[in-house]
Copies of this chain bind each other. A is one copy, B any other.
């Protein structure tokens, strides 16, 4: 009878020590300090900030150990995990296979090759993701890197410590590719981004992506879209990148065409793999085997708006999922419902942020939408640190709900993205957002915050107060040689500095008088710098009996095509 009183410690084995894994381990020990937690990590390093690697390469972050420290500077090494967290760690150790029937994991120490069997009650897969390595000819040449772990970063840094001002080619114009472009530029390199698709940052709409490309170009980074790399050439080390649009010299190549979840272990153990190729989990982060949880870059999740399965690996999500997994493992019901595909990256002076659905995604999903392009300063315009941000909103017509926001510029884009994340998650309509009591003082925002101005534009459109036209539609009209008046209502000084070709100038203040000379029934498209005066102009013309007036969204600031500059 005494046997009942022998409490067996619950054994949890965690495979993967970067983000989700350590989170699960620490949280379990906090909730149930008696649990026997073991963490297996293939590399040397634990709990390091992979997202910080581009900044380590550029020198913005000085020391490697900063990436694996706590906020107060303690390095999270194996000793730390044992002494502070009471988590037993095997680093330099690989998990070879899972025996689900007997709840055992076979591991191997990489340095000695010694194998060992660990028992588990609960197993957690936090195996992460690995860079996709396209089978391009010449891939084996020296100085062709991916950016995954600390080792890659050290390799790249070592290369630059020997030579200066290199030609760098980045294959892939996604988040990591773009972050790396800035890092290499800071190291004095001449950077070319090669992207197979018609635009960089494919999660953005093309009109927004073009504005980011323009900024990269201003900074001296070459962007080659619609271009596919066919081979790398060189004598031992890479010297040339060959593409379907010609070849060019390159001393170093970074391949950043995305990542793929590490699921071999899960697959071989017979766990369900989802349609994205990542591990299938329920909202408790449980795999198809109730004794096995998974979290982080190796799992798929759900888009909160569409309800559809998606794969969106991110350090922030990994941390949240790790906490949810640990809570459920300790019997505390918790759910991770999904994501909005929020992403942000720094691109030189610009922040580039997105959440929810882009225009193209929303249309693909069958939503009936209206979009808004709205550029404006991020603080009171008279406050010296005010900087512009350019926003694009996607709103569902029928429900008037905000579906997505893209925001770029040198101002605080992250704040507006995070307000949007919260509003979209709550299912807010643009009418509710318009009167949010957001914090206002000149050093922080305009009296009507950028997101409020933007939703008010959407309300005006939905309420039929004026008719808008997108820059793309205007461009198409120009290319079709449509007969319309393209009316710039800025001041003569502004017009002299920068303008769009073949426009007519009537400054807003003179429009009431001078509009009498315009033909009443011809199509007129108005705009200004940000299209606020363009909007006023359209209303003035409408009031004077002009029957076919539209405002070009976003004004000259968000015109993604060529401009004539003084």
A33 touches B542 (CB 8 A): yes
Shortest Cβ gap from A443 to chain B (Å): 4
A448 touches B382 (CB 8 A): no
In the complex where A52-B382, A414-B444 touch, is A456 in contact with B323 (Cβ < 8 A)? yes
A381 touches B340 (CB 8 A): no
Interchain CA distance A80-B536 in the complex, whole Å: 13
Q: Among B29, B339, B442, B543, which residue has its beta carbon within 8 angstroms of that of A51? A: B442
Q: Within 8 Å CB of A162, what residues of B?
A: none
A14 contacts B by Cβ under 8 Å: no
In the complex where A51-B441, A84-B508, A422-B422 touch, is A463 in contact with B415 (Cβ < 8 A)? no
Q: Among B344, B446, B509, which residue has its beta carbon within 8 angstroms of that of A80? A: B509
Interchain CA distance A358-B439 in the complex, whole Å: 16
Chain A positions 401 through 438: 1 when the CB is less than 8 Å from some CB of chain B, otherwise 0: 00000000000101101110111011110011111111
B342 touches A383 (CB 8 A): no
Q: Within 8 Å CB of A127, what residues of B?
A: none
Shortest Cβ gap from A444 to chain B (Å): 4
A353 touches B439 (CB 8 A): yes
Q: Within 8 Å CB of A29, what residues of B?
A: 539
Interchain CA distance A529-B336 in the complex, whole Å: 30
Q: Within 8 Å CB of A343, what residues of B?
A: 439
In the complex where A316-B447, A423-B422 touch, is A437 in contact with B342 (Cβ < 8 A)? yes
Shortest Cβ gap from A462 to chain B (Å): 12
Shortest Cβ gap from A7 to chain B (Å): 14
- 12 interchain pairs, CB-CB under 8 A: A33-B540, A33-B542, A49-B382, A72-B533, A84-B533, A315-B447, A316-B445, A316-B447, A319-B447, A414-B445, A418-B438, A419-B421
Q: Within 8 Å CB of A353, what residues of B?
A: 439
A83 touches B415 (CB 8 A): no
Q: Among B71, B332, B491, which residue has its beta carbon within 8 angstroms of that of A377? A: B71
Interface size class of A (residues with CB under 8 A): 35 or more
In the complex where A71-B376, A71-B377, A72-B494 touch, is A414 in contact with B435 (Cβ < 8 A)? no
Q: Within 8 Å CB of A345, what residues of B?
A: 441
B414 touches A382 (CB 8 A): no
B336 touches A435 (CB 8 A): yes
Leading 4 A-B pairs by shortest Cβ distance: A33-B543, A426-B426, A316-B440, A344-B439
Interchain CA distance A324-B456 in the complex, whole Å: 11
In the complex where A323-B456, A437-B340 touch, is A539 in contact with B444 (Cβ < 8 A)? no
> A residues 22-39 with Cβ under 8 Å of B?
29-31, 33-34
A134 contacts B by Cβ under 8 Å: no
Q: Among B319, B380, B439, which residue has its beta carbon within 8 angstroms of that of A342? A: B439
Closest residue of chain B to A19 (Cβ to Cβ) is: B447
